[in-house]
């Protein structure tokens, strides 16, 4: 069994430029650099998923649940006479499983064992370079995307979990929950954003309404960093799934999660976000930037309770040429030349469905999943225009 997952950040960074509502907000090929990605398999590393034993509802403490998964894994490995290495990661909230090193022959043998749902190769995620021109905090502006979707100061207690490259922990325009944040990048010790993409998404969701920078859709909301990609935008499918599993274990019903990442069809990512939504977490998913049907991309293609896939448009409600489309898309939101928070206390402009998804994430938080729509995007290539998300 070999299933390869290709993951890329759904963002295209562009040089910052101010613009008025009347401008034709188009991104030319000279202004953008699409991210590249790798499907490099990690030699000898696999993701093993066990058949469900009801563990998710039996234990609220993830450490205890993880230990139960490990005990079960040891029993299965022993029955198959396979020496079990120390797992790299353990999953117990979204589903039961682990990432572990073993030989291909052992993986094939384990895949047929009783109690094993499947075994998948793990892969490296490698993002291409992009053009970004960060700027120091300007006087506060309400960017066009937030104006279009509607925004308000968030006064509730729910949180937005940003599964990404981390968040700038001391950004002056963000209310970051460092205590509940998580870091899955073994090269660093905290979920601080050393890349920029996660901080940008967080600002769209909940930048503070103050005197500097920008305003988020759910202004002032608490954003929680879940760092699954490193400073180069690299990680592994097993790590991204670990981030989703962490949120499934720690978020409360009514919280929201944003996943502005994705790639080719990969069943495990789909299953993980479906499990997250089933726990009462509202999940915004980027549709992708390949200009094709989102059916071919995970987790954009995932269908389940509380999952919302988001396409992108420009300042004039016109379809963003890079955006994926199709029946799996639920809403459209601004995703071209979006100005938001950035690493190092700075601000920057980016384009992509990565920027569209957090607009919807903020609306889900602000309205407790009761967002409305306001018109339809112009020029949807599938002929079935996506409704524009609105407060």
Q: What residues act catalytically?
A: 164, 197, 354
Q: How far apart are CA 335 and CA 117, in angstroms?
A: 38
Collect all residues with Cβ–Cβ distance below 8 Å to 294 and sequence separation of at least 6.
287, 288, 300, 301, 309, 311, 324, 325, 326, 328, 329
| Residue whose C-alpha is closest to residue 158's, from 66, 222, 96 | 222
Q: How far apart are CA 311 and CA 332, in angstroms?
A: 5
Q: In what order do the strands lie in the sheet with 12-13?
A: 12-13, 347-351, 338-341
> Do residues 220 and 175 touch, judged by C-beta distance below 8 A?
yes
Rg (CA), the chain: 20
**Torsion 318-321-327-332 (CA) sign:** negative
∠ CA 218-151-32, rounded to 5°: 85
- Take residue 217 and report the two structure tokens written for it: 């859709």
Please report the beta strands in 335-384, taking only residues with DSSP state E, as ranges in sequence order: 338-341, 347-351, 372-376
| Residue whose C-alpha is closest to residue 325's, from 358, 295, 365, 282 | 295
DSSP state of 258: E
Q: How far apart are CA 277 and CA 332, in angstroms?
A: 20
- Take residue 10 and report the two structure tokens written for it: 């759904």
Q: How far apart are CA 377 and CA 384, in angstroms?
A: 9
Q: How far apart are CA 382 and CA 12, in angstroms?
A: 22
């Amino acid at each position: 069994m070999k299933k390869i997952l290709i993951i890329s950040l759904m963002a295209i960074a562009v040089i910052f430029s101010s613009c008025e509502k009347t401008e034709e907000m188009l991104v030319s090929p000279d202004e953008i650099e699409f991210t590249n990605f790798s499907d490099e398999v990690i030699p000898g590393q696999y993701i093993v998923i066990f058949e469900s034993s009801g563990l998710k509802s039996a234990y609220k403490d993830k450490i205890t649940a993880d230990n139960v998964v490990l005990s079960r894994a040891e029993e299965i490995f022993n029955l198959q006479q396979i020496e079990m290495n120390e797992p790299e990661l353990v999953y117990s909230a979204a589903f039961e499983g682990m990432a572990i090193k073993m030989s291909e022959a052992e993986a094939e043998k384990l895949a047929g064992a009783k109690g094993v749902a499947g075994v998948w190769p793990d892969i490296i995620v490698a993002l291409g370079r992009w053009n970004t021109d960060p700027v120091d905090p300007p006087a506060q502006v309400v960017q066009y995307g937030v104006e279009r979707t509607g925004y308000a100061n968030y006064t509730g207690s729910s949180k937005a979990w940003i599964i990404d490259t981390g968040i700038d922990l001391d950004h002056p325009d963000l209310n970051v929950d460092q205590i509940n944040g998580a870091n899955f990048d073994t090269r660093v010790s905290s979920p601080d954003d050393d890349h920029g993409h996660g901080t940008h998404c967080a600002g769209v969701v909940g930048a503070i309404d103050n005197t500097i920078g920008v305003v988020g859709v759910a202004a002032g909301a608490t954003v929680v960093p879940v760092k699954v990609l490193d400073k180069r935008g690299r990680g592994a499918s097993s790590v991204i799934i670990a981030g989703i599993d962490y949120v499934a274990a720690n978020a409360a019903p009514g919280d929201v999660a944003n996943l502005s990442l994705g790639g080719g069809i990969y069943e495990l990512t789909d299953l993980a976000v479906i499990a997250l939504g089933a726990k009462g977490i509202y999940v915004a998913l980027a549709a992708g930037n390949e200009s094709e049907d989102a059916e071919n991309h995970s987790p954009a293609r995932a269908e389940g309770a509380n999952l919302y896939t988001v396409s992108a448009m420009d300042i004039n409600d016109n379809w963003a040429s890079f955006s994926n489309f199709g029946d799996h898309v639920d809403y459209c939101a601004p995703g071209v030349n979006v100005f938001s928070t950035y690493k190092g206390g700075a601000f920057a402009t980016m384009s992509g469905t990565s920027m569209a998804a957090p607009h919807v994430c903020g609306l889900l938080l602000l309205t407790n999943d009761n967002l409305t729509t306001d018109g339809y995007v112009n020029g949807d290539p599938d002929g079935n225009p996506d409704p524009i998300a609105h407060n």
